[in-house]
Chain A
Amino acid sequence: MAEYSVFSLLRNGFNANRDWAPAWRKPEPKAAYDVVIVGGGGHGLATAYYLAREHGITNVAVVEKGWLGSGNIGRNTTIVRSNYLLPASIRFYEHSLKLWENLSHELNYNVMFSQRGVINLAHSPAQSDDFMRRGNALRHEGVDAEWWDRDRIARAVPGLDVSASARFPIVGGLMQRRGGTARHDAVAWGYARAADRRGVDIIENCEVTGFLRDGDRVTGVRTSRGDIAAKKVAVAVAGSTGRVMQAAGIDRMPIESHVLQAFVTESLKPTLDTVITFGGGHLYVSQSDKGSLVFGGDIDGYNSYAQRGNLPVVEDVMSEMVALFPGFARLRLLRSWGGIMDMSMDGSPIVTKGPLPGMYLNCGWCYGGFKATPASGWLFAWTIARDEPHPINAPFTLDRFARGLVIDEKGQGATPRLH
């Protein structure tokens, strides 16, 4: 039975919204669970939901240090796409995109997934070749990709500076029509409610301070609200991976935490109905349903846990935005904020069993965690339930660095600040 329908909206509209039930309970932690998931962000909540739905494991707790969705799930620029180059990445993100396409229906929660298309702009013949190659790799894997020339982009995106005199003239772009945006908070809330309805305990304001151990084996978590035993402990804490793993006695990881800033402008009338990325630097911009432009660029480029960045990157991002859309120069900035990215050494995530017995690890999302949320949860739940990875996440191991099997989309090497 749908909890949110036109009838429930009408009924509550006429009685001052008195009938709404809380979307999820606020349970006290039990002494023991089958699975404890550390981290109540998008990935942790999605993992809990798919554990319950796909694998029938409902004796699950999600423990979250702050409030639900207070981390990167509420701090990203909401872009969803699957236009990667390497087969392992394409399969991972395409699995995610397919889950996105049915997510609102499945959760009975409108995540406002809007397949408005993502255009990666190319600014030189070499970059065009590179993007066409990526398009061909995508089509080879059965994923949609189209090459758009400059004139077609000019017709589709008014306001874009397509003149030959631009500092980085636009040559063309790679369009993925099935890409788009989603309402990021709704994703957290939708997964939380759906997981809660299936019996998952979501425990907020509960910080993990250590792990219960039996020799090498992890047997639970030590939290600010008492010890919780668990047969399996899953860690999905993004930028805090280093800190949480240190509490488990693992001092070094192939991860650096970096700050990424994002920005929204004041609201304006509908002006941009696709997602645009700038190939001359690093910028991605879309317009939210409220009318604000939501955009971001590079990470600041130094290790940080501060959730706030510095001005050089702000200046950089603004100059790129104005280079693309000169008319946006007069807009006022409404807000900016920072989130902590778990930058891995090859720019690809880690979704795996281990590194300790009884433990499962989900991290290394770099900039790309939001779009991966459904697949990350789905595949992590599979890995936890079956004690082995699904073929799609089998390449995304922790030991791939030592084994020389890195998945490096940019070919950048072990320099996290450049991924």
Chain B
Amino acid sequence: MLIACPYCGPRDVAEFTYQGDANRPRPDPASTDLDAWNDYVYQRANPAGPHREYWQHSGGCRSHLLVTRNTLTHEIAGVAFVRSAPVPATKPAPAAPRKRPASRKAKP
């Protein structure tokens, strides 16, 4: 399997580190919605077919990449820098964020 790194060009898969499913909507860090966190941490769509996933070119330019790869054939349809690709929508926190305690405010 070759992954065409947008910076380095096509390189062997051995140079890359897999970082998993790129379709998981991450809850807002302030969220206390347990279902949303469970969904983010543990649940996967695990499709047989096109799969959007993160790889890092750890043995090369170290860029984080968003790869679209077919899990049935290992064919790669597209590679992009993660920074230029849309990330899955963040789920907003359901409750209003708590007020920070006054003591944490930075003093002028």
Contacts and interface: CB of A to CB of B under 8 A. Distances in A.
A252 B71 CA distance: 16
A38 to B, nearest CB: 16
Contacts of B39: 252
Interface string A309-323: 011100100000000
B44 A254 contact: yes
Interface residues of A, number: 26
B12 interface: yes
Contacts of A312: 12-14
A242 B48 contact: yes
Contact of A414 (B18, B41, B48, B74): B41
Contacts of B48: 240, 242-243, 257, 305
A304 B21 CA distance: 12
Interface residues of B, number: 26
A252 B35 CA distance: 13
A4 interface: no
A252 B45 contact: yes
Interface in A47-62: none
Contact of A302 (B12, B46, B53, B72): B53
Interface string B5-36: 00000001110001011000000000000110
A256 B13 contact: no
Contacts, number: 68
Contacts of B14: 311-312, 315
A203 B84 CA distance: 50
Nearest to B37: A402
A329 interface: no
Contact of A251 (B13, B41, B45): B45
| Interface of chain B: mostly helix, strand, loop or mixed | mixed
B71 A305 contact: yes
Contact of A256 (B12, B35, B46): B46
Contacts of B46: 242, 252-253, 255-257, 303
A265 B8 CA distance: 37
B72 A417 contact: no
A253 B18 contact: no
A261 B12 CA distance: 18
Contacts of B42: 254, 345, 401-402, 414
Nearest to A245: B46
A301 interface: yes
Contacts of B45: 242, 251-252
Given A242-B48, A306-B72, A401-B38, A254 B12 contact: no
A252 B69 CA distance: 19
B101 interface: no
Interface in A231-252: 240, 242-243, 251-252
A304 B44 contact: no
A257 B53 CA distance: 14
A254 B34 CA distance: 15
Interface of B: 1, 12-14, 18, 20-21, 34-35, 38-39, 41-48, 51, 53, 69, 71-74
20 contacts: A242-B47, A252-B39, A252-B46, A253-B43, A253-B44, A254-B43, A255-B46, A257-B48, A302-B53, A302-B69, A303-B46, A304-B71, A304-B74, A306-B71, A306-B74, A310-B74, A311-B14, A345-B41, A345-B42, A417-B18
